[in-house]
Amino acid sequence: MTRPTAPALRTGTWTVLSGRTTATFEVRNFGFNRVRGTIPVTAGTVEVTGGEVTAIAATLDLGALDTENPRRDADLRKPKLLDSATHPELVFEAARIWRHEGWEVTGELRLRGTSCPLTLTVEPPTGEGHVRATGTLDRAPLGVRAPRPMIGRYVRIVVDAWLAPPS
Protein backbone atom coordinates (compact mmCIF):
# COMPACT_ATOMS: atom_id res chain seq x y z
CA MET A 1 0.00 0.00 0.00
CA THR A 2 1.42 3.38 -0.94
CA ARG A 3 0.89 6.41 1.22
CA PRO A 4 -0.50 9.59 -0.29
CA THR A 5 1.93 12.43 -0.82
CA ALA A 6 1.22 16.05 -0.02
CA PRO A 7 -0.86 17.78 -2.66
CA ALA A 8 0.72 20.50 -4.73
CA LEU A 9 -0.21 24.05 -3.79
CA ARG A 10 -0.87 26.91 -6.16
CA THR A 11 2.27 28.90 -7.05
CA GLY A 12 2.69 32.25 -5.29
CA THR A 13 2.80 33.69 -1.79
CA TRP A 14 0.24 32.30 0.64
CA THR A 15 -0.38 34.62 3.59
CA VAL A 16 -1.19 33.56 7.15
CA LEU A 17 -4.65 34.62 8.30
CA SER A 18 -3.58 35.91 11.71
CA GLY A 19 -7.08 35.99 13.17
CA ARG A 20 -7.58 32.27 12.50
CA THR A 21 -4.06 30.90 12.97
CA THR A 22 -2.96 29.68 16.40
CA ALA A 23 0.23 28.34 17.88
CA THR A 24 -0.32 26.25 20.97
CA PHE A 25 2.30 24.87 23.31
CA GLU A 26 2.48 22.30 26.06
CA VAL A 27 5.23 21.92 28.64
CA ARG A 28 5.58 19.91 31.85
CA ASN A 29 5.29 21.84 35.08
CA PHE A 30 6.71 20.42 38.32
CA GLY A 31 7.47 17.18 36.47
CA PHE A 32 3.92 15.85 36.20
CA ASN A 33 1.48 18.68 35.38
CA ARG A 34 1.14 19.92 31.83
CA VAL A 35 0.77 23.61 31.13
CA ARG A 36 -0.89 24.55 27.86
CA GLY A 37 -1.07 27.93 26.24
CA THR A 38 -1.41 29.87 23.02
CA ILE A 39 0.67 32.51 21.28
CA PRO A 40 -0.96 34.48 18.45
CA VAL A 41 0.60 34.19 15.01
CA THR A 42 0.63 37.80 13.81
CA ALA A 43 2.24 37.36 10.40
CA GLY A 44 3.50 34.67 8.10
CA THR A 45 4.01 33.57 4.54
CA VAL A 46 4.44 30.36 2.60
CA GLU A 47 6.17 30.68 -0.78
CA VAL A 48 5.24 28.11 -3.41
CA THR A 49 7.06 27.68 -6.72
CA GLY A 50 6.02 25.02 -9.22
CA GLY A 51 3.83 23.28 -6.66
CA GLU A 52 6.67 22.99 -4.12
CA VAL A 53 6.94 24.93 -0.86
CA THR A 54 10.19 26.92 -1.09
CA ALA A 55 10.06 29.28 1.92
CA ILE A 56 8.15 29.64 5.18
CA ALA A 57 8.28 32.47 7.72
CA ALA A 58 6.12 33.27 10.76
CA THR A 59 6.04 35.85 13.54
CA LEU A 60 4.36 35.29 16.91
CA ASP A 61 3.42 37.88 19.57
CA LEU A 62 4.94 36.88 22.93
CA GLY A 63 3.20 39.77 24.69
CA ALA A 64 -0.14 38.08 23.99
CA LEU A 65 0.90 34.65 25.32
CA ASP A 66 -2.03 33.10 27.20
CA THR A 67 -2.04 30.08 29.54
CA GLU A 68 -5.39 31.07 31.11
CA ASN A 69 -3.48 32.01 34.26
CA PRO A 70 -2.59 35.74 34.31
CA ARG A 71 0.02 35.37 37.06
CA ARG A 72 1.80 32.57 35.18
CA ASP A 73 1.62 34.60 31.95
CA ALA A 74 3.25 37.58 33.67
CA ASP A 75 5.98 35.30 35.09
CA LEU A 76 6.66 33.78 31.64
CA ARG A 77 7.12 37.27 30.15
CA LYS A 78 9.83 38.21 32.71
CA PRO A 79 13.48 38.71 31.62
CA LYS A 80 14.72 35.33 32.92
CA LEU A 81 12.17 33.46 30.83
CA LEU A 82 10.77 34.91 27.58
CA ASP A 83 11.84 38.55 28.15
CA SER A 84 8.93 39.73 26.01
CA ALA A 85 9.35 43.41 26.96
CA THR A 86 12.78 43.47 25.28
CA HIS A 87 12.08 40.81 22.63
CA PRO A 88 8.32 40.88 21.91
CA GLU A 89 8.38 38.52 18.95
CA LEU A 90 9.22 34.91 18.30
CA VAL A 91 10.22 34.36 14.65
CA PHE A 92 10.55 31.15 12.65
CA GLU A 93 12.15 30.91 9.20
CA ALA A 94 12.48 27.68 7.28
CA ALA A 95 15.90 26.67 5.98
CA ARG A 96 14.98 23.32 4.43
CA ILE A 97 11.63 21.95 3.29
CA TRP A 98 11.07 18.52 1.86
CA ARG A 99 7.94 16.66 0.88
CA HIS A 100 6.83 13.22 2.01
CA GLU A 101 3.31 12.43 3.32
CA GLY A 102 3.13 16.11 4.25
CA TRP A 103 6.26 18.19 4.65
CA GLU A 104 9.24 18.23 6.98
CA VAL A 105 10.38 21.76 7.70
CA THR A 106 13.68 22.52 9.40
CA GLY A 107 14.44 26.10 10.27
CA GLU A 108 15.61 28.62 12.78
CA LEU A 109 13.54 29.82 15.73
CA ARG A 110 14.59 33.24 17.05
CA LEU A 111 13.70 34.24 20.59
CA ARG A 112 15.35 36.49 23.21
CA GLY A 113 18.02 37.67 20.77
CA THR A 114 19.28 34.15 20.08
CA SER A 115 18.23 31.23 17.92
CA CYS A 116 18.04 27.47 17.75
CA PRO A 117 17.03 24.86 15.17
CA LEU A 118 13.46 23.61 15.06
CA THR A 119 11.97 20.85 12.91
CA LEU A 120 8.25 20.77 12.23
CA THR A 121 6.21 17.99 10.69
CA VAL A 122 3.45 19.42 8.51
CA GLU A 123 0.43 17.22 7.86
CA PRO A 124 -1.07 17.15 4.39
CA PRO A 125 -3.55 20.03 4.04
CA THR A 126 -7.10 19.11 5.07
CA GLY A 127 -8.56 21.77 2.83
CA GLU A 128 -7.28 24.58 0.68
CA GLY A 129 -5.19 26.82 2.86
CA HIS A 130 -5.42 24.84 6.12
CA VAL A 131 -2.31 23.12 7.49
CA ARG A 132 -1.20 21.75 10.85
CA ALA A 133 2.41 21.54 11.98
CA THR A 134 3.89 19.92 15.09
CA GLY A 135 7.32 19.94 16.65
CA THR A 136 9.29 19.85 19.90
CA LEU A 137 11.42 22.77 21.04
CA ASP A 138 14.40 22.43 23.38
CA ARG A 139 14.22 25.68 25.38
CA ALA A 140 17.76 25.44 26.81
CA PRO A 141 19.68 26.77 23.75
CA LEU A 142 17.43 29.86 23.74
CA GLY A 143 18.54 30.92 27.20
CA VAL A 144 15.13 30.37 28.79
CA ARG A 145 16.34 29.61 32.29
CA ALA A 146 14.15 27.97 34.89
CA PRO A 147 14.75 25.04 37.19
CA ARG A 148 13.77 21.85 35.31
CA PRO A 149 11.30 20.76 38.01
CA MET A 150 9.41 24.04 37.52
CA ILE A 151 9.34 24.10 33.72
CA GLY A 152 10.25 21.14 31.53
CA ARG A 153 13.08 21.49 29.06
CA TYR A 154 11.06 20.39 26.02
CA VAL A 155 8.06 22.27 24.71
CA ARG A 156 5.59 20.63 22.33
CA ILE A 157 4.33 23.04 19.67
CA VAL A 158 1.29 22.76 17.41
CA VAL A 159 0.54 25.36 14.74
CA ASP A 160 -2.93 25.30 13.22
CA ALA A 161 -2.51 27.62 10.23
CA TRP A 162 -5.03 29.07 7.82
CA LEU A 163 -3.53 30.59 4.70
CA ALA A 164 -4.98 32.99 2.14
CA PRO A 165 -4.09 31.83 -1.38
CA PRO A 166 -2.12 34.02 -3.76
CA SER A 167 -4.25 36.43 -5.74
Output the average pLDDT for the chain.
Answer: 88
Which residues touch 79 (CB under 8 Å, ≥6 apart)? 85, 86
Are 113 and 88 in contact by the 8 Å Cβ rule? The answer is no
pLDDT digits (tens, 9 = 90+) for 63-89: 999 999 999 999 889 988 899 999 999
Does the pLDDT value for residue 31 go beyond 70?
Answer: no
Would you say domain 12-164 falls under CATH 3.40.50.1010? no
Q: What is the pLDDT of residues 91-142, one digit of tens each?
A: 999 999 998 778 999 999 999 999 999 999 999 877 778 999 999 999 888 8
For the residues 30-57, what does the mean pLDDT come to? Answer: 90
Report whether pLDDT(8) > 80: no
Kindly tell me if the per-residue pLDDT of 33 is higher than 90.
no
| Cβ-count burial 140-152 (b if 16+ within 10 Å, e if not) | eebebebeeeebb
Paired sense of beta strands 103-111 and 114-122, if any: antiparallel
Does this model's pTM top 0.75? My answer is yes
